[in-house]
Structure 1
Amino acid sequence: MDMPPVSGWIFVIVIGAILATVIYSVLVYPLLRKRKALALPLSDEWRSIIESSVPYYPRFTSEEQQHLERLIKYFLVEKVFFGCAGLVITDEIRVTIAAQASLLVLHKGSDAYPKLHYILVYPSGFSVERDQVGAGGVVENRRMHMLGESWHNGKIILSWEDVRKDSHESGTGHNVVLHEFSHQLDSETGAANGTPLLPNKDYQRWANILDTELSALRYAASLQIDSVMDKYGATSEAEFFAVATETFFGKPYQLAQRHSELFQILVKYYQFDPRQWQDEPLYEPIDDNAADRS
């Protein structure tokens, strides 16, 4: 029997090596990393950080606690943290951010932000230069003070001072980690436009609610009327979704009272109701007509 020429064998070997590398990279390596993450022990120190950064963690069911811990461990293996402006990255920083980010996907059954690779952390707020369209359509370069920023190229930037502050003030409806990581969820469709990845049958309902609620928030902002949601959400559809997420986790009872349709569709999206973890606050009923058109 004739043997194939040497060049043919080389070709077969090269193709086989390429296929083996692809299979290992796509199927085997991610599985090994996940197993490595889940095998990491959760120290008492880490658990204390989780309880501090997620105040309602003790109210989770045992299944929720275990799943959150798994998500945190996987997150910490997958993501690389960088300290900026002299900040030294500690376990407190890593676990706090991982715990709050994992909270968003606790019931979603998805991996922890597969397209996100790098988390840059500053000691406090940071400044960036941005081109903005000013009066008369003139583009102006302005320096802006930021607490966090989410990028499409696999990174998030956060202010540690504000992450820590938000961790200890969970009922304010402000949380920079939830805000920036919700932008990552929003981007799963390819663009951060206020509409995250949904079942096909829910897109029209989401669009209707988004249009109504964003218009109402812009109306309230224009008249300086108090609102449950931060008026920064009126900036754009993407910022509305991020602010709505912060409010959903931080002020679920108020959001449910004032914006029931928005609250219910967020319950469906995040696949749980955060009111089950929190006591109903004592607050005065708000006249919806005074603040919103919705």
Structure 2
Amino acid sequence: MTAFIAPVLFLTLCIVLFFAVRRRKRYVYAVPENVSQLLSDHVAYYRQLVPEQKAAFEKRIKEFLSYIRIHGVNTEVEDLDRVLVASSAVIPVFGFAEWRYYNLKDVLLYGDRFNTEDFSTTGDERHTLGMVGTGALQRMMILSKPALRQGFLNESRKDNTGIHEFVHLLDKADGATDGIPEALLHQQYTIPWIKYISEAIHHIKTGQSDIDVYGATSHAEFFAVAAEYFFNRPDLFKINHPQLFALMEKIFNQQPGSAFHKRHYNTPNGSG
């Protein structure tokens, strides 16, 4: 019992100290002046947009940074980090013009991987790259700064930690992180989506899929892992998983990598 209580007390103390410091120092919402250049240099998704859509994307980035606080933990938060966090948030919901993350207030950016026992960045059990907070950490997200940057640095990769965690947040918007994003998914696609997830997880477990094995952990992890692939490598994803690609086009209301990138549908009820 003592072994369980100690980490909980440590975490509680950290949270209390965090909010105490934050109350003493008013947070300044920082929107970089060179957003366009940072996006052009570091975000392939943005470069695929037509000029009108680029302007809309930049506006969404600035809106996100105007109401979400990003804090560095043992690391400095640079303009590039702010833009990459915001891009991770905007990319999955770019097909929904009115979406706002009402279930998020703060993003903690760690200087390295961390563990989920005491959120330490030292020691041998540092395996976590990102997480969406629950309980005492409600409305908070934690991301590894190196992992965040790596997700955008190497454009041949299928993984993206920032997008992964924001997709979990979207999934959570209906009250349950279960891989069924009811706030985004039209009712007629729910049953085909659940059926496809089960089949896809089976294919991962039997070595018949190039989707990361972590996607076989649960329906929620499959949704997040598949979304990383969908947005980072839409060209490859469409070839290897055409049926899944078509379903995810409907879920996210967009066609990444296409000349007709953004569709124009009404925002579904329950946004954010």
Q: TM-score range by the shorter chain?
A: 0.7 to 0.9
Asked which structure has the greater CA Rg, the reply is 1
Letter aligned with residue 204 of structure 1: I
* TM-score, scaled to structure 2: 0.75
Letter aligned with residue 181 of structure 2: P
Letter aligned with residue 168 of structure 1: L
Matches within 5 A, 1:253-268: 253-268=235-250
1:42 to partner: Cα distance: 6.8
* Alpha carbons 2:168, 2:177 under 8 Å: kept: yes
1:89 to 57, 77, 80: 77
Letter aligned with residue 111 of structure 1: W
2:262 equivalent to 1:273: no
SS at match of 1:87: coil
1:175 to partner: Cα distance: 0.5
* Alpha carbons 1:81, 1:119 under 8 Å: kept: yes
1:143 to partner: Cα distance: 4.1
**Mind listing any 5+ residue stretches in structure 2 that lack a counterpart?**
1-28, 119-123, 260-272
* Alpha carbons 1:129, 1:144 under 8 Å: kept: no
Distance (whole Å) between structure 2 residues aligned to residue 217 and residue 232 of structure 1: 9
Residue aligning to 1:54: 43
Matches within 5 A, 1:129-140: 129=117
Q: Which has the higher helix share?
A: 1
Runs of 4+ in 1 over 4 A off after TM superposition: none
2:108 to 120, 129, 133: 120
Matches within 5 A, 1:239-250: 239-250=221-232
1:187 to 172, 175, 178: 172
* Alpha carbons 2:31, 2:66 under 8 Å: kept: no
Identity across the alignment (%) = 29
1:266 to partner: Cα distance: 0.3
Residue aligning to 1:71: 60
Residue aligning to 2:96: 108
Distance (whole Å) between structure 2 residues aligned to residue 122 and residue 149 of structure 1: 11
2:233 equivalent to 1:251: yes
Residue aligning to 2:131: 149
1:200 to 167, 172, 187: 187
Letter aligned with residue 169 of structure 1: N
Q: Which has the higher contact order (CA 8 A, sep 6+)?
A: 2
* Alpha carbons 2:88, 2:166 under 8 Å: kept: no
* TM-score, scaled to structure 1: 0.70
1:273 to partner: Cα distance: 1.5
Residue aligning to 2:87: 99
* Alpha carbons 1:194, 1:241 under 8 Å: kept: yes
CA deviation map 1:104-142 (0-9, x unaligned): 111123323221111000011112229xxxxxxxxxxx9
Q: Which has the higher strand share?
A: 1
SS at match of 2:77: coil
SS at match of 2:146: helix
RMSD over aligned CA atoms reads 2.3
Paired residues, number: 222
Distance (whole Å) between structure 2 residues aligned to residue 257 and residue 122 of structure 1: 35
Distance (whole Å) between structure 2 residues aligned to residue 112 and residue 50 of structure 1: 20
